[in-house]
Homo-oligomer: A and B are copies of this chain.
Amino acid sequence: MILEGIYAPVPTPFDLKSGDISHSAMEDNIRRWAVTSLNGLVICGSNGELPFISVSERAELTRTAKLALEKSGVDKKIITGTFMHSTRETIDCSVRAADAGADAVLILPPHYFKAAGMSGAKKFFEETANSSPIPIVLYNMPGNTGVNLDAETVIELSRHPNIIGVKDTSGDMTQMCRIANECGENFSVFCGSGNYLLPSLAVGASGGTLAVANLYPESAARLLKACMESDMPRARALQYRLMLASDALTRKFGVPGLKASMDRAGLYGGPCRSPLSDLGDDEKHRLFDALDSTGLDEYESWRHIC
C-alpha cells in the first residue's frame, strides 16, 4: 500500500439522543464522499474523536465504512486510528480493525509518561508493527500529545517493513523535508493539515489527510494537481484559500466546528461526545462566514448530489 493523494479524517457520527454511534449516518456520509476525488478515509483520527471511541466501536465504524464503500463501488482506502495507551491494547485494536476491513492503521506515539521519550516510541511502534496484520502509519500530532516524533526516530522506524508512512501534523518543515528525503521509496510522508499542504508537498510529501477535506476535497485535490503540474502561482492562490478554511475549521473551532459545518453542508455532523461542546450560534456564524469568504464552495459541486 502506498499513501498518496488526499484523505479525509472523518468525524464519528453520534446519535443525538443516546450518544451511541449512528451507523446509518456514517453510511450516508460515506456514500456522499464516495463520489469525490478523495483517495481514502481515516476512521477514528483526532477529528473522529479517537480518545472517546472504544476498541469495539472503532472496529464497528471500520466495518460500516468498508461496506459503504463497497456498496458505492469505488476504490478508496480505509485507515483506522488504533492507538491505545498500552501496546497490548493497541495491538488488539489493530487486529480488530484489520478484521473489519481497514487497509492500514494510524497510531500516535506514547505520550502520557513523557519520560519514555523516543526510545519508548520505538519500542511501542516496533512491537505493534510486528503484530499488526496490516501496515502502520505513524501519527505525529504534538499539538494534542505534547510529544514530537522526531525525524531520527521516524527514519529508523521507516525501515520496518510493516511501517509505511507518517502523518505529520507538527508543521515543522525541516523535519518533514528530512523525513521525505531520507526514508526509503516505500515510505510516504503525509501532511496532517490543510494549513500547510503546499509547503509540505514542496518538501516531498505525497499528499495529506486533512480535516478540511471532509468539506473541500476537490479544492485540496486541485491544489495537489497544481503542485504536481508545477503551476506554482495557481497552487499558491489555492493554498491561501484552503488555509483560511482549514484554520477556521481546525485551529479555531476544532471538531465541533467541523461537525457544525457538515450539518450545514447537508452531511451528518451531529453532536460531539462530552467533554467537547457543540458550537453556539455566535461561533457558528463566525465559522460559516470564514468558510464562505474563501470562495472554495465553487469547486465542491458534489455536495449537491444526494
User: A-side interface residues toward B, CB under 8 Å?
Assistant: 19, 46, 50-52, 54, 85-89, 110, 112-116, 119-121, 123-124, 127, 143-146, 171-174, 177-178, 180-181, 195-196, 198-200, 202-204, 227, 230-233, 235-236, 239-240, 243, 247, 251, 254-255, 273-277
Contact = CB atoms under 8 A, between A and B. Distances in A.
A203 B201 CA distance: 12
Nearest to A147: B146
A197 to B, nearest CB: 10
Nearest to A198: B202
5 contacts: A87-B274, A180-B240, A199-B199, A230-B230, A230-B232
A277 B119 CA distance: 9
Q: How many copies does the complex hold?
A: 4
Contacts of A199: 173, 196, 198-200, 202-203
B173 A173 contact: yes
Contacts of A275: 86-87, 110, 116, 120-121, 123-124, 127
Q: Which of A121, A196, A227, A231 has the largest count of B CB atoms less than 10 A from its CB?
A: A196
A247 to B, nearest CB: 6
B195 A52 contact: no
